[in-house]
Amino acid sequence: MGFAKTVSRELGGYNIRVNAIAPGAAGGDRIERVLQGLATAQHKTLEEERAAALSIQSLKRFVDPKLSLSQIPSAWREGPNRAMNSGCSSS
């Protein structure tokens, strides 16, 4: 999201829009390795660490990384990242 904001600020003067879609955390081998490493380091089970990771997300599931953006149901997209503010930012 930060990259999209930066590029939109740089290209906005040329009347070029920049959009980003954030479907949420992607599932798969990488996240499983990360969660297993965290679980081992914190003496927890993988299931406990997965539950903790999902508890801080709006949607309580990982997105299938094999899906293209057009295949991701709109209900799976994280709402807070869909700000329509013409590139304006408070920061």
Over residues 27-62, the pLDDT tens digits come to 889 999 999 999 999 999 999 999 999 998 877 888
What is the pLDDT at residue 69? 58
- Please name the residues in contact with 50: beta carbons below 8 A apart, sequence gap of 6 or more: 35
Q: Which has the higher per-residue pLDDT, 37 or 68?
A: 37
Please state, in angstroms and rounded to a whole number, the distance separating the CA atoms of residues 39 and 31.
12
Please state, in angstroms and rounded to a whole number, the distance separating the CA atoms of residues 76 and 43.
31
The helices-and-strands tally (H runs, E runs) of the chain is 3, 0
Reply yes or no on whether the pLDDT at 87 is more than 90.
Answer: no
Residue-wise pLDDT for 4-29, tens only, equals: 889 989 998 999 988 877 767 888 89
Reply yes or no on whether the pLDDT at 90 is more than 60.
Answer: no
In this structure, what token pair is assigned to residue 19? Answer: 């959009």
